[in-house]
Amino acid sequence: MFSFCRICKRNYNTKDNHFHSKLHQDNLNNRLKTETKRVSDAIYYLHNIKYLNSQEENFKNKFFCYFCEEYILQNDGPVANFQVLKHLASQKHKKKVSIFLKKNFVKKKRQSQFIISYSSFQKFVRKINLKNFPKNQNQNQNQNQNQNQNQKENENQNQNQNQNQNQNQNQNQNQNQNQNQNQNQNQNQNQNQNENQNKNQNQNQNQIQIQNQIQNENQKSKSISGN
């Protein structure tokens, strides 16, 4: 019967003494060194509290717990690694570490390298109580509030500028429309004046023609009577 070894990343025959083999022990030692360093880096924040600002809160780094095989958000809380430290102090994590060490024939005293006591975590929580937040935290909050106010002011200014631009555009459009209307009216008036002038000229020409015809007829009648 075969089973899979997570540390060696290979299948092994359960009848064989795989966990005591040199290959497994070498891989196990390397893995324990890696996890000791990673857990130690996380525990650093237990004694060196780092308060997060809004930008860091949005930056979601993840801590992978090899023993529990799960990811924990590092910046999901009021301070850095809050959720990671909470996980390392949990009974669930302690149980998983104990099973792992026992399965791989690691001395139980090494368990303390991969966990923190619940009392230590409680003390840590009391330190980061909102009443004990440092002045820097308040300064950061004030800075964030000021930044938000400045952003709102800039947004309002942009809105006002856009409104003014739209008003100016509308005014220009109205002016152009009025100018076009005036031009059309002037053109129509000019056309009407030209038409009237042409009519008057035609009427005058007709009258002159009629008068000429009458004069011609009168001259003809006089010449006939004289004869």
- What pLDDT shows up at residue 226? 61
Q: What is the pLDDT confidence band of residue 137, given thresholds at 50, 70 and 90?
A: very low
**Virtual torsion, Cα 83, 85, 89, 93, nearest 10 deg:** 70
The answer to whether residue 181 scores a pLDDT higher than 70 is yes
The model's pLDDT over 83-132, given as tens digits with 9 standing for 90+, comes to 999 999 999 999 999 999 999 999 999 999 999 999 999 999 998 874 44
The answer to whether the CB of 7 falls within 8 A of the CB of 27 is yes
SS3 of the chain: helix, strand, coil, percent, to 5: 70, 10, 20
The model's pLDDT over 102-116, given as tens digits with 9 standing for 90+, comes to 999 999 999 999 999
The answer to whether the CB of 97 falls within 8 A of the CB of 66 is no
The alpha carbon dihedral of 59, 65, 70, 76 has a sign of negative
Displacement of CA 217 from its chain's centroid (Å): 100
- What pLDDT shows up at residue 222? 67
Q: What are the structure tokens assigned to 129, written together?
A: 């109580």
The pTM is what? 0.55
Per domain, the residue ranges of the chain are 2-129, 134-227
Cα–Cα distance, 184 to 125 (Å, whole number):
82
